[in-house]
A and B are shown apart, each in its own frame.
Chain A
Amino acid sequence: MKNAKNIYKPAYAQIDNKTPKICRISGVEILPSKIAWEKYNWTKKYFQKKPKQGYFIWVKKNISSYFSTCVSIAAKNTKQNLQNLLVIEKNLKVNLQGICNSQRKNLSGQHKAQGKIILKENSALKYEHIQSWDKSDIVESDYQFILEKNSKLDYSYKNFQSPKKLKINTRINTFEKASANLNIIINSIQSDININDILILKEKNSSGIIKLRLVGKENSRISAHSQVRAEAESKGHLDCQGLLVSSEKFHSELACRRGRIVEKSIIKLIPELVCQNKKAQITHEASIGKISEEELNYLRMRGLTEKQAIDLIVNGFLEA
C-alpha cells in the first residue's frame, strides 16, 4: 500500500515558487536543490552555481514502484527557474514520471528547468517527462544525462499541449556499454519550438537511439537539430519524423479573422551524424509528411468527423 500511495502523491511537488512539498520514500533522499548544495559538497560539480529552486533526488536503494515529481504554474506571470539533480546509485532500477504544467489558461508563465541526471554503473532509469502548457506560456528545458558503464536510460519527453515558445536542449553522454533511448514527442499547436539534442557515444560498445515525432498544427514553427556523435566503437541511430497538419475548421476560423486562408506551419529537421571512430555504426532516417487525403476520407467514411480522424492519425503518428 505504501508503494501505491507513492504513485498518486508526487515525491516532489512545487506550485509556482512556493516551498515544495516533499514526500518520503524509503531509500530515496529528496531535498530542495539549494539544501542539497549546502549538505553535500559533491553536488557542486553538477550544479553550475548555487541553485535557488528545483529538486535533488538521490536514489540509494531499489524501489519497487515508480515515483513522480510535479512542478506547476498556477498564478499569473509566475517565473520558475529550477535546477534539478537526479542521481541513481549503482545497480538500481528506477521508474520516474516528471510532470510540468500550467494549471489554467492565460497565466503567461515562464518555466525554465536545468537538470542533470546521473546513472551510475549498471543502473537503469525509465523516465517519462510529461509537459502540458498553455498558449501563453514560455518554456525552456535543458537536460543533461550522464550514463556510466553498463547503465541504461529510457527517456520519453511528451508534450501534447504546447506552450507559446518551447526550447528543449538534451545532451546524453554514454560511457562503456551504456545505452540510451531518447524519445521526443510533441504535438505543437500555434507554437514556436526549438529542439537541440545530442547523443554522444563516448566509449566502446555504447549505443543509443534518438526518436523524434513532431506534429505541427496551426501556424507552428518547429526546428529540430539532432546529432549522434560516435567517439568510440559504438552504435547509434537517429529517427526524426514530422507531420504537418491542417484542418478545414482552422482554415475557416482564419478565413473569418483575416479574410483569407493561411496555413503556415513549418517543420525543419536537421539530422546530423558525426563519426570519429571507423568501427562505429551510426545511421539516420528523417521525413516530413502531411496527412493523406485518402486516409482522412477513409476514416470519415467510417463515421469519424474530420477532427476525430485527424486526432486518430496524429495520435497514431506520435505513438509510433
Chain B
Amino acid sequence: MLKIKNLKLKKDNKEILKGIDLEIKKGEVQALLGPNASGKSTFVQVIAGNPKFKSAEGKIFFNGKEISKLSPEKRVKMGLVLSWQNPPAIKGVKFSNLLKKISKVPSSHLKLSKNTKIKKQSVNLNFLNREINVDFSGGEKKISELLQILSLKPKMVIFDEIDSGLDLKKVEMVAEIIKKDLIDKKVSVLIITHSGEILKFLKPQKVNIMIAGKIVCQGKDYRQVLKTIKKYGYEKCKKHLQAGLCANR
C-alpha cells in the first residue's frame, strides 16, 4: 500500500530526515514511536505531501504509483490521508462547511457519529457549527480530525498523535472508532503516539522507532517495545531494542 525509499529532508543545512525506508501493507496497522523532535511529524507531513516540505528527496509509492511529486490533494484523492497533531484554526470557516466540501460520503451519512461511540460517549457535537478549530478543546480537535478522515473514505490513514491530550475514556472511544470504521474495513493505519494506551486497543502488527530522523528499529511485539522504552527510555533503549527486538524484522 505504502512504500518509502530513502526519504531525506534538509532544512537550514540540518538533516531532519536521514534516509527513511518504510513499508506498510494493505490493512496493516503500524505504529511509529520516538522522542520529541525526532522527526516523526515532519516525516508524515512529507508522506502526505505538505508543500512546506517539497524539497524532500527520496521516493514514496502509494498503491504501486510513485506519488513523491504529487500535490497533497491528489494524494488524498488516491486515498492517503493524514490526521494532524496540531491542526490550525481557520477563522470564519464553519466546520460543517468543510465537511460538506470534502466529504465523499453522502450528506445523510455525515451524521455517522450518531451511530458510533462518539454519541454514546456524549461528546458535544455542537462544534460542527463553529469555526474550524477556533477555541476547540483538545478533545474536540481530535474528534474533528477523525470526522474529516472518515468522511474522506481513505485507503490509508496516518494518525499523528490522535490520542494526545485525551483522557483514557476518550482514547478508548477514538481507538474503537479507528478499529471499527477503518481497520476492520481493511484500511491501512500508521499511528504516531507517545502513549502506549491506544496501541493496546489497536494492536499494531509492527512498531517503528524513530530517533534523530532515522528509523533505528522495528519490532513486532508492541508490548515488548513499550516495556523496553518504559524501562530504558528511547536513547538508552536503542541498543537494547537493536539487540533484542530487531531480530523480529
1/0 per residue, CB under 8 A from B, across A293-320: the answer is 1110111111111101000110111111
> Is the beta-carbon distance between B84 and A319 smaller than 8 angstroms?
no
> Is B231 engaged at the interface, CB distance under 8 Å to the other chain?
no
Contact A312-B50, Cβ < 8 Å, known A317-B91, A317-B92: no
Do A305 and B93 form a contact, CB below 8 Å, given A294-B88, A297-B52?
Answer: no
Given the known interface contacts A292-B88, A316-B131, A317-B92, the answer about A302 and B97 at a Cβ–Cβ threshold of 8 Å is no
Min C-beta distance of B205 to chain A, whole Å: 26
On whether the beta carbons of B49 and A301 are closer than 8 Å, the reply is yes
Tell me which residues across on chain B come within 8 A of A301, comparing CB atoms.
48-50, 72-73, 76, 81-82, 84
A303 cross-chain contacts in B, Cβ below 8 A: 73, 76-77, 102, 152
* Chain A residue at minimal CB-CB distance from B148: A302
Residue B249 CB within 8 A of the other chain: no
The answer to whether B52 touches A302 (Cβ under 8 A) is: no
Mark A266-301 against chain B: 1 for CB-CB distance below 8 A, else 0.
Answer: 000000000000000000000000001111011111
List residues of chain A with CB within 8 A of the CB of B58.
none
Instruction: Report the nearest A residue to B86, measured CB to CB.
Output: A294
Kindly provide the distance from the CB of A251 to the nearest chain B CB, expressed in whole angstroms. 14
Q: In the complex, what residues of A have CB within 8 A of residue B87's CB?
A: 298
Contact in complex: A316, B92 (CB < 8 Å): yes
How many Å lie between the Cα of A293 and that of B72 in the bound state? 14
Contacts of A304 in B (CB 8 A): 73, 101-102
Q: Give, as a whole number of angstroms, the nearest-CB distance from A56 to chain B.
A: 38
Do A293 and B76 have beta carbons less than 8 Å apart?
Answer: no
Are the C-beta atoms of A302 and B50 separated by less than 8 Å? no
Q: Is the CB of A312 within 8 A of B76?
A: no
In the complex the two chains form, what is the Cα distance from A301 to B83 in whole Å?
9
Contacts of A297 in B (CB 8 A): 50-52, 72
Give A185 Cβ to nearest chain B Cβ, in Å.
12
Inter-chain contacts of B48 with A (CB < 8 A): 301
Over the window 49-81 of chain B, the binary record of Cβ atoms lying under 8 Å from chain A Cβ atoms (1 yes, 0 no) is 111100000000000000000011100110001
Q: Assuming the A-B contacts A292-B88, A295-B88, A317-B92, are A300 and B51 also in contact, with contact meaning beta carbons closer than 8 angstroms in the complex?
A: yes
Decide if B22 is an interface residue (CB 8 Å cutoff).
no
- For residue B37, CB closer than 8 A to chain A, the reply is no
B102 to chain A, nearest CB (A): 5
B residues 29-56 touching A (CB-CB < 8 Å): 48-52
A317 to B82, CA, bound (A): 26
- Contact B102 A316, beta carbon cutoff 8 Å: no
CA distance A302 to B152 in the complex (A): 8
CA distance A295 to B90 in the complex (A): 6
Are A316 and B84 CB-contacts (below 8 A) given A302-B76, A303-B76, A303-B152?
A: no
Q: In this assembly, does B94 line the interface, its C-beta being within 8 Å of a C-beta of chain A?
A: yes
A312-B97, A316-B94 known; A300 vs B72 contact (CB < 8 Å) = yes
Chain A neighbourhood of B72, CB < 8 A: 297, 300-301
Q: Which residues of B contact A306 (CB under 8 A)?
A: 73
Given A298-B84, A316-B94; 7 other pairs, CB 8 A cutoff: A292-B88, A297-B52, A298-B87, A300-B72, A301-B76, A312-B97, A313-B93
- Can you give 17 A-B contacts (C-beta < 8 A)? A294-B52, A298-B84, A298-B88, A298-B90, A299-B98, A301-B49, A301-B73, A301-B84, A302-B76, A303-B152, A304-B102, A306-B73, A313-B90, A315-B92, A316-B97, A320-B92, A320-B131
